[in-house]
A and B are shown apart, each in its own frame.
Chain A
Amino acid sequence: MAKHHVTTTVNGNGVEFLCETQQTLLEVLRDELHLTGTKEGCGTGDCGACSITIDGRLVCSCLMLGVEAQGKSIQTIEGMATGEKLHPLQRKFLEHAALQCGVCTPGFLMAAQSLLERNPDPTEEEVRFWLAGNLCRCTGYNKIIDAVLDAAREIRGN
């Protein structure tokens, strides 16, 4: 079975790849494009570790096929920082010790970034519900929430 040729944009860069029909976008990102920052935690869209944005929309990349990336604009964790400058969310996660093992962190950062783009001044409850699709087993979520709220404050400028 011949592979599919896909042309897409990843983190602002034009990208082409070959993939099999059944390969998920997550597998393509990790195994074909070697962008291993996006993680597989469950493969069934329940843990959020594979979160990316596609045309600005937060999705679980394990629930999409590689071929569906054709012509779209994808952002992964590798595209969050701007050159040397970390995104405020990335800095705040570090300052607040919002990661212990760090495997869920890329997914949380993508999800939190997506939240703050839509709602720059969320309440604690809004943050918790938005992030309910991202599982963390290490932190109990405390410091993640602290970090997101603090980053939101900094981005707003107050």
Chain B
Amino acid sequence: MGDNAIMREQKLFKVVGTRPVRPDGTPKVTGLAQFGADFALPGMLWGDILRSPHAHARIRSINTAKARALPGVKAVITSADFPEQKFEYVGPERVAVNYWHMTRNVMAREKVLYEGHAVAAVAAVSKAVAAEALRLIEVDYEVLPHVIDVDEAMRPDAPLLFENMITRGIEPAPTKPSNISKRIELKLGDIEAGFAAADEIVELNFKTAPVHQGYIEPHACLARFETGGQGEIWASSQGHFVVRAYTAKLLNMNIGDVLVHPAEIGGGFGGKTVIYVEPVAAALSRKTGHPVKIMMSREDVFKATGPTSGASMTVKIGVKKDGRIVAADGLFKYQAGAFPGSPVMNGVMCGFAPYNIPNVRSVGYDVVCNRPKSAAYRAPGSPISAFAVESVMDAVAARIGMDPLKFRLMNAAKVGTPTTWGPKHAYDSYAYTVQALLDHPAYSAKLGKNQGRGVASGFWFNNGGESSATVHINEDGTVVIATGSMDIGGSRASMAIMAAETLGIDYTSVRSIVADTGSIGYTHVTGGSRVTYATGTAVVEACKKVIGELCARAAMIWDVDKGDVIWEDGCAMPAGKISGKFEPLSLKAIAAKRAVTGGPIGAEASVNAGGFAPGFASELCEVEVDPETGAVKILRFIVAQDVGRAIHPSYVEGQMQGGAVQGIGWALNEEYIYGPDGKLQNAGFLDYRIPVASDLPMIEALMVEVPNPNHPFGAKGVGEVNIVPAMAAVANAINHAIGRRLTELPMSPPKILDALNSPRRG
């Protein structure tokens, strides 16, 4: 699998594993870095979007005449300004991209399917005029009954979002339409025989509420298009190539006619791998011939961008007295939101993945309902199913009187263990994460009154895929690395580190930038824990190519055979029969002679990286529950994660800490609260309560390094798996503290008080 020379050398790395300051750091601490909303152009118009006040309604008509007549309004658009798209599922089926759905999510056509659904947009000379214009647009709605809760949406008498939706994945296909877009089932072994052989069985039901990714930066972009023609977009997103592709598709343009500049991005977590405002701004710009800027309000972000699924689940695990799990059965019903495509398949595949279970069945349902379409959120689908599975694991361990970590170790997946979805595990790393917690002194520390300790584990695939990178040697011997990966968490630092290590030069002589869609090859999204792995691989490939070129140039300078030149410690060195005959040539020296040896020196590499190793995490949580208020205080939180190799340890720790805290928020406070009218009641950060600094202790990050043999430096994805075990770890800790198991998220104070007031259960 490629040249693993760097790994095989086994020497200590010079730069990989160190903690230098990121090369893009100063602009971010001085306010100079430009995020999606920070761009402006002369003649710029402000765009704003009219959104449905109803959870479910047919659009009878839209009258934009008054809005168009308002002085200062330059364009008003509706779905009529977007071409219709063919109804077909294309591309990845798990997060099914169907442009028929996508165009309707960006701008509603026949119906509005959630409060906040976009129905029209305007471009005007100021924000105030744009807002006034929206007020003048008249939409005639026929309000329809709505349904939001996943169990209710699955009922045969539930209001239908799509009158012709027939569930896929059921043979024979149902005759009646429903809100169930898809059913999936994965099976291994014989669960009936498995459960028959079990000594103890625990079966529990779970419910989770939708939660938002909660990025602090609302979606924003600036579009500048020729009237009816080509154009550019400055956007913060998790993938400017995806922004380009989707925008072009929705406007029936050639991909090459759209150029996307990557702005800095203020958080994404998956929620910015999809588009909302870009095609709207582009359409308005094309219509007016002026640049158009759109920035979503926080309220619109909550109401109209995808939170993850709420879910209803049942998990049953059967075990022998000695601790061996003999059977497991899971039912996972996930809200997709207004259009199909919840991450239920991920949930189904990941839930039991850390374990060696001979008889397993997982069934998943993707269910549409009247709330925004779900978007990816950090290991999409996996944290939800893990909440259920890891809670039952905890209950089972308690039932047989076994230590919960030792129980997991006994049943840990190893190389060769089959997964529910077929392939055998190729890696042993799960057990290391459990052992790391077992070995931690906190695990056996004494706890006080109303305090409890819980553990949980989780799995995530990580990802690879298409990435491109270029490396250019500047005239002074310094280096510029460019990639197509938006930098959402410090990846420019790790790209520079990998380049410096490969080239054998000082970190400070490497500049690392993110190039626009016209300047570099296709690169897939910054998400899915793929950048350090796949884009890093591309960077290393490009650097190796340039090393070949540098050696060739040195050979020309010395007038020797290229085969006698090697690259060591950042210099071309004479070797073989000319060993010692010439002084080493640094990058600077070779760059100085570039013109006479053939011209500028650079290289590009594009990869479709495979062999991305999955990630495991095990987490330990200690809580103290206040019996009077139901408030839960997190006393301690430890994340043990197999990280492959930490290219820049500070940023790996940062991912682990950030993911854990999102999981804590998901566990304790975060939820979408809908009124009986289907309207969101907490569309702001005051009442959608994410963790603040005073809620938390220091999060301890234990990086377990089991190098990934498929990456030049052993790296693998680290961004996502850390959120997967968090909610169950908190739930298990609360159960330990108060002797009551909460099976509904969030475990907010009223729910804790309710639980405390109910009799103790097993």
Interface residues of A (CB under 8 A from B): 20, 22, 27, 30-31, 34-44, 46-47, 49, 76-78, 80-81, 86, 90, 93-97, 99-106, 109, 125, 127-129, 131-145
Assess whether B658 is in contact with A137, with CB atoms less than 8 Å apart. yes
Tell me whether B32 is interfacial, beta carbon within 8 Å: yes
Shortest Cβ distance from A110 into B: residue: B31
Complexed CA–CA distance, A82 and B142 (Å): 60
Assess whether A97 is in contact with B650, with CB atoms less than 8 Å apart. yes
B298 contacts which of A43, A80, A93, A105 (Cβ < 8 Å)? A43
Assess whether B699 is in contact with A142, with CB atoms less than 8 Å apart. yes
Q: In the assembled complex, which residues on chain A have CB atoms less than 8 Å from the CB atom of B297?
A: 43
Assess whether B661 is in contact with A140, with CB atoms less than 8 Å apart. yes
CB distance from A132 to the nearest CB of B (A): 4
Assess whether B215 is in contact with A143, with CB atoms less than 8 Å apart. no
CB distance from A125 to the nearest CB of B (A): 8
Assess whether B31 is in contact with A36, with CB atoms less than 8 Å apart. yes
Q: In the assembled complex, which residues on chain A have CB atoms less than 8 Å from the CB atom of B684?
A: 42, 44, 46
CB distance from A118 to the nearest CB of B (A): 17
Complexed CA–CA distance, A43 and B220 (Å): 14
Assess whether A86 is in contact with B692, with CB atoms less than 8 Å apart. no
B489 contacts which of A77, A100, A140, A144 (Cβ < 8 Å)? A100
A145 contacts which of B127, B650, B660, B693 (Cβ < 8 Å)? B693
Assess whether B22 is in contact with A86, with CB atoms less than 8 Å apart. no
CB distance from B29 to the nearest CB of A (A): 4
CB distance from A107 to the nearest CB of B (A): 9
Q: In the assembled complex, which residues on chain B have CB atoms less than 8 Å from the CB atom of A39?
A: 35, 37, 216-217, 266
Assess whether A140 is in contact with B696, with CB atoms less than 8 Å apart. yes
B264 contacts which of A20, A90, A102, A132 (Cβ < 8 Å)? A102
B29 contacts which of A93, A100, A129 (Cβ < 8 Å)? A93
Assess whether A44 is in contact with B298, with CB atoms less than 8 Å apart. yes
Assess whether A46 is in contact with B31, with CB atoms less than 8 Å apart. no
Complexed CA–CA distance, A79 and B209 (Å): 43
Complexed CA–CA distance, A4 and B708 (Å): 62
Assess whether B29 is in contact with A94, with CB atoms less than 8 Å apart. yes
Assess whether A41 is in contact with B128, with CB atoms less than 8 Å apart. no
B657 contacts which of A43, A76, A101, A139 (Cβ < 8 Å)? A139
CB distance from B637 to the nearest CB of A (A): 9
CB distance from A14 to the nearest CB of B (A): 20
Q: In the assembled complex, which residues on chain A have CB atoms less than 8 Å from the CB atom of B660?
A: 140
Shortest Cβ distance from A136 into B: residue: B216
Complexed CA–CA distance, A135 and B266 (Å): 12
Q: List 28 A-B contacts (CB under 8 A).
A: A20-B128, A35-B31, A38-B31, A39-B217, A40-B218, A41-B217, A44-B684, A46-B685, A47-B216, A76-B31, A78-B31, A81-B30, A95-B21, A97-B490, A100-B655, A101-B264, A101-B265, A101-B268, A101-B488, A103-B215, A104-B216, A129-B694, A131-B694, A135-B216, A137-B213, A138-B658, A140-B659, A141-B692
Tell me whether B40 is interfacial, beta carbon within 8 Å: yes
Assess whether A101 is in contact with B30, with CB atoms less than 8 Å apart. no
Complexed CA–CA distance, A31 and B34 (Å): 14
Contacts A41-B217, A103-B267, A139-B657; A86 near B30 (Cβ below 8 A):
yes
Assess whether B19 is in contact with A97, with CB atoms less than 8 Å apart. yes
Interface string of B681-695 (1 = CB under 8 A from A): 000111000111111
Complexed CA–CA distance, A50 and B38 (Å): 13
CB distance from A123 to the nearest CB of B (A): 12
Assess whether A46 is in contact with B686, with CB atoms less than 8 Å apart. yes
Q: In the assembled complex, which residues on chain B have CB atoms less than 8 Å from the CB atom of A129?
A: 693-694
Tell me whether B717 is interfacial, beta carbon within 8 Å: no
Shortest Cβ distance from A87 into B: residue: B29
Complexed CA–CA distance, A134 and B698 (Å): 17
Most buried by B among A80, A132, A143: A143
Complexed CA–CA distance, A139 and B34 (Å): 20
Assess whether B28 is in contact with A102, with CB atoms less than 8 Å apart. yes
A143 contacts which of B37, B217, B266, B650 (Cβ < 8 Å)? B650
Shortest Cβ distance from B28 into A: residue: A102
Assess whether A37 is in contact with B693, with CB atoms less than 8 Å apart. no
Assess whether B693 is in contact with A144, with CB atoms less than 8 Å apart. yes
Complexed CA–CA distance, A2 and B345 (Å): 57
Within 8 A of A (CB), among B216-265: 216-218, 264-265
Most buried by B among A38, A40, A97: A97
Complexed CA–CA distance, A52 and B265 (Å): 21
Query: What would 11 more interface pairs be, CB under 8 Å, given A94-B21, A128-B694, A141-B692?
Result: A36-B35, A38-B31, A39-B217, A47-B685, A77-B30, A101-B489, A102-B28, A106-B29, A137-B214, A137-B216, A137-B662
Tell me whether B461 is interfacial, beta carbon within 8 Å: no
Contacts A101-B265, A101-B489, A142-B699; A36 near B693 (Cβ below 8 A):
no
Tell me whether B477 is interfacial, beta carbon within 8 Å: no
CB distance from B216 to the nearest CB of A (A): 4
| Chain B residues touching A, majority SS | loop
Q: In the assembled complex, which residues on chain A have CB atoms less than 8 Å from the CB atom of B651?
A: 97, 100
Assess whether B35 is in contact with A143, with CB atoms less than 8 Å apart. no
Tell me whether B654 is interfacial, beta carbon within 8 Å: yes
A106 contacts which of B31, B214, B264, B699 (Cβ < 8 Å)? B31
Q: In the assembled complex, which residues on chain A have CB atoms less than 8 Å from the CB atom of B264?
A: 101-103
Q: In the assembled complex, which residues on chain B have CB atoms less than 8 Å from the CB atom of A139?
A: 654, 657-658, 661
A105 contacts which of B28, B40, B685 (Cβ < 8 Å)? B28
Complexed CA–CA distance, A35 and B33 (Å): 11
Assess whether A49 is in contact with B22, with CB atoms less than 8 Å apart. no
Tell me whether B26 is interfacial, beta carbon within 8 Å: yes
CB distance from B307 to the nearest CB of A (A): 14
Interface string of B118-156 (1 = CB under 8 A from A): 000000001110000000000000000000000000000
Assess whether A101 is in contact with B698, with CB atoms less than 8 Å apart. no
Tell me whether B539 is interfacial, beta carbon within 8 Å: no
Most buried by B among A42, A49, A76: A42
Complexed CA–CA distance, A51 and B762 (Å): 49
Complexed CA–CA distance, A132 and B213 (Å): 19
Complexed CA–CA distance, A19 and B155 (Å): 54
Assess whether B29 is in contact with A90, with CB atoms less than 8 Å apart. yes
Q: In the assembled complex, which residues on chain A have CB atoms less than 8 Å from the CB atom of B693?
A: 127-129, 131-132, 134, 136, 141, 144-145
Tell me whether B295 is interfacial, beta carbon within 8 Å: yes
B698 contacts which of A27, A37, A42, A145 (Cβ < 8 Å)? A145
Tell me whether B83 is interfacial, beta carbon within 8 Å: no
Assess whether B217 is in contact with A94, with CB atoms less than 8 Å apart. no
Shortest Cβ distance from B33 into A: residue: A102
Assess whether A97 is in contact with B654, with CB atoms less than 8 Å apart. yes
Q: In the assembled complex, which residues on chain B have CB atoms less than 8 Å from the CB atom of A20?
A: 126, 128
Q: In the assembled complex, which residues on chain A have CB atoms less than 8 Å from the CB atom of B28?
A: 99, 102, 105
Q: In the assembled complex, which residues on chain A have CB atoms less than 8 Å from the CB atom of B685?
A: 41-42, 44, 46-47, 135
Tell me whether B25 is interfacial, beta carbon within 8 Å: yes
Most buried by B among A109, A139, A142: A142
CB distance from B202 to the nearest CB of A (A): 32
Complexed CA–CA distance, A121 and B568 (Å): 49
Complexed CA–CA distance, A46 and B686 (Å): 6
Q: In the assembled complex, which residues on chain A have CB atoms less than 8 Å from the CB atom of B213?
A: 137
Assess whether A100 is in contact with B30, with CB atoms less than 8 Å apart. no
CB distance from B703 to the nearest CB of A (A): 14
Assess whether B30 is in contact with A102, with CB atoms less than 8 Å apart. no
Q: In the assembled complex, which residues on chain A have CB atoms less than 8 Å from the CB atom of B266?
A: 39, 41, 101-104
Shortest Cβ distance from A42 into B: residue: B298
Assess whether A22 is in contact with B218, with CB atoms less than 8 Å apart. no
Q: In the assembled complex, which residues on chain A have CB atoms less than 8 Å from the CB atom of B218?
A: 40-41
Shortest Cβ distance from A142 into B: residue: B657
Tell me whether B269 is interfacial, beta carbon within 8 Å: yes
Q: In the assembled complex, which residues on chain B have CB atoms less than 8 Å from the CB atom of A35?
A: 31
Complexed CA–CA distance, A94 and B217 (Å): 20
Q: In the assembled complex, which residues on chain B have CB atoms less than 8 Å from the CB atom of A140?
A: 654, 657-661, 691, 696, 699
Assess whether B30 is in contact with A80, with CB atoms less than 8 Å apart. yes
